[in-house]
Structure 1
Amino acid sequence: MSARDAILKRLRERTDGPLSAPESDFAVVTHRGWSGQERLERFERWIASVHGEVVHTSRKGWTEALARVLADKGVRRLALGKQHPVAAEARQALVDTEVELVDVNRDIEAWQREQFESVDAGLTSTLGGIAETGSLWLWPTPDEPRLISLVPSIHVAVLDADTLEDTLFDVVEKHGWANGMPTNALLISGPSKTADIEQTLAYGVHGPRELVVLLRHASAAPGDEK
């Protein structure tokens, strides 16, 4: 019997019965009770407070909003996947533009230098957002590896308004992380930032210097006639 098995055996044979987990009160991290509009307002306020940019658009017209963002920011080379609907729609919309579409589903060693030196922006989908902290959450895949949200100077993320949750606890509970915790979940709250010993924040020192969230609404967004 191994040392581990011996310890577990002693725990199971405790004279006062098996150990049980204490009851936990999670009320402090959930049950905010915000309406959909309140979630939107809180999300936008908090992510803007750390230099994130939110562009409201409709689900029908989001690729046109993407094209405008890329043109305004001078993006010439965009890294993106192929299989996810967000990437597929973007590819179709940008096929006749001057933006070069860079494939990302390949061995990082084959294009590592290219990614750091000549890719202007990365486009990703998101699985949702967190209103309390103004955060996005992503589960990277081979089609959308995490590096395209962490390396290029600009990260463009597509978020559906109806996937916003109040808190991180609500995300974990609703999506069953306890039964299938992702190996590499990403929580993104604004562009990259760091602080020196005097606690002065600096943005864009490493990783994306800009984060643009294309916030898609089921109906036409304010100011979006699409």
Structure 2
Amino acid sequence: MSAREAILKRLRERTDGPLEAPESDFAVMTGRGWTAQERLERFERWIGSVHGEVIHVGRDDWTEALAEVLRDKGVQRLALGREHPVAAAAREALAGGDVELVAADRDIETWQREQFESVGAGLTSTGGGIAETGSLWLWPTPDEPRLLSLVPPIHIAVLDAESLEDTLHDVMARHDWAAGMPTNALLVSGPSKTADIEQTLAYGVHGPRELVVLVRHA
């Protein structure tokens, strides 16, 4: 009998009953009670404090703001999905324009060099946002792989204002992550940043140097 098997055998033959999870009090992680306006203001303040850029847009004209961002930042090639409503609307609005639309739903090995060297920005949807930390949360899919938000020098994310939650705990509870949390859930709090041994903060070393959040309002 191996050591592993011996340990499991002792656990199975416990005489004091099965192990049970202790009672947990999550009160400190929730219950902020902020209004929708307070959530939005906190989110914008915190993500802005780490160089995230927030642009408020209408539900029906957000693609016009997207086109303006791409133009102002000189983006010539935009990577995005096909199926998600955000990607579909962007494709329709930008079709025939000056920006080349690059499909992201491909095997990474077929366009890895292209993605790292010639894509100017990546566009993604978001699951929502967290007011307490100024964070976005994303659930990558084959249509919108996680590299869209991790590799291009500019990450453009579309966030619906009403999808903001107070805390990460509220997000996990509201969307029942315990029953179906994806393996690649991403939390994005500003552009990529790192600090060297001299504690000098640098942006864009290991990922996007800019994060632009288009916050859509009804």
What is the TM-score when the length of structure 2 is the normalising length? 0.95
Structure 2 match to 1:217: 217
The residue that corresponds to 2:174 in the other structure is 174
1:8-157 equivalence runs, <5 A = 8-157=8-157
Structure 1 stretches lacking a partner, 5+ long: 219-226
Separation (CA, whole Å) in 2 of partners of 1:37 and 1:16: 52
**How far, CA to CA, are the matches of 1:9 and 1:163 in structure 2?**
47
Q: What per-residue deviation string (whole Å, max 9, x for no partner) do you get for residues 32-54 of structure 1?
A: 11111110000000000000000
Shift in Å, 1:15 = 2.4
Report deviation, 1:17.
2.4
Percentage identity across paired residues of the two chains: 81
Aligned mates of 2:133, 2:201 — CA distance in 1: 17
Q: State the alpha-carbon separation in 1 of the partners of residues 197 and 18 from structure 2.
A: 48
Q: Distance in 2 between matches of 1:25 and 1:12?
A: 29
Count the aligned residue pairs: 218
Secondary structure of 1:14's aligned partner:
coil
Partners of 1:30 and 1:88 in 2: how far apart? 35
CA offset digits 1:22-68 (Å, max 9, x no partner): 11111111111111111000000000000000000111111111111
* CA distance, structure 2, for counterparts of residue 122 and residue 16 of structure 1: 55
Deviations 1:48-96 (A, max 9, x none): 0000000001111111111111111111110001000000000000013
Task: Compute the TM-score of the two structures, normalised by the length of structure 1.
Answer: 0.92
> C-alpha separation between the residues in 2 aligned to 1:107 and 1:13?
48
Q: Name the amino acid aligned to 1:125.
A: S
Q: How far did residue 6 of structure 1 move?
A: 5.0
Q: The residue matched to 2:152 in structure 1 has which SS?
A: coil
Alpha-carbon shift at residue 185 of structure 1 (Å): 0.7
Paired AA for residue 35 in structure 2: S
Q: Distance in 1 between matches of 2:6 and 2:206?
A: 48
Shift of 1:5: 5.6
Q: How much has 1:198 moved relative to structure 2?
A: 2.5
Give the superposition deviation at 1:202. Answer: 0.7
Q: Secondary structure at the match of 2:208?
A: coil
- Structure 2: distance between partners of 1:174 and 1:12: 35
1:222 aligned partner: none
Q: Once structures 1 and 2 are overlaid, which stretch shifts more, 129-138 or 15-24? A: 15-24
Amino acid aligned to 2:130: I
Cα displacement string for residues 162-221 of structure 1 (whole angstroms, at most 9, x for unaligned residues): 111111111111111111121111110000100011222111122111000000011xxx
- The structural deviation recorded for 1:4 is 4.8
Matched, 1:203 2:203: yes
- The two structures, once aligned, show a CA RMSD in angstroms of 1.4
1:3 positional shift: 5.7
